[in-house]
Amino acid sequence: MSDTQRPDLTPYALTSLGLRQVLTSQLEFAKRLIDALVASGALTAEAAQAVLLGIADAAEKKAGPAQLLGQSHFSDALKEPMREHALALRGVTRKIGAKRAKAPSAAAST
């Protein structure tokens, strides 16, 4: 491909693309590690889910509220991939198969 046929990527688009690639690699690593640890019995599915949800919460906190997009190109280039990563992590937790703790019923407490 010649230079004239290359799409013109701004530094912000390149930053966003690079961050997405790094986060995708990190997500794949997390999936494989969690699967191996749960399969070996070294980690419960519930604990794995809690760890992944904690990482997702931290990513969302770093990204900030969605309505703040558009304030700067560089900030947007970082925030949107972080939000996508948090959603992907939450998707992984659903695939782990951990049973959610049920709230105690009123009948059980009497």
Phi, psi of 15 (to 5 degrees): -60, -45
What angle in degrees, to the nearest 10, is found between the helix axes of 45-63 and 11-40?
160
What is the distance between the alpha carbons of residues 102 and 106, in angstroms, rounded to a whole number?
A: 12
For the segment 32-48, what is each residue's pLDDT rounded down to a tens digit?
999 999 999 999 999 99
Q: In this structure, what DSSP letter does residue 3 have?
A: T
Q: What is the pLDDT of residue 6?
A: 52
Which residue is it, tokens 């070996």?
A: 40
Question: For residues 40 and 23, what is the distance between their CA atoms, to the nearest angstrom?
Answer: 25
pLDDT of residue 23 exceeding 60: yes
The pair of structure tokens assigned to 107 is 């009948």
The predicted structure's pLDDT at residue 65 = 72
pLDDT of residue 41: 94
Distance CA 34, CA 82 (A): 20
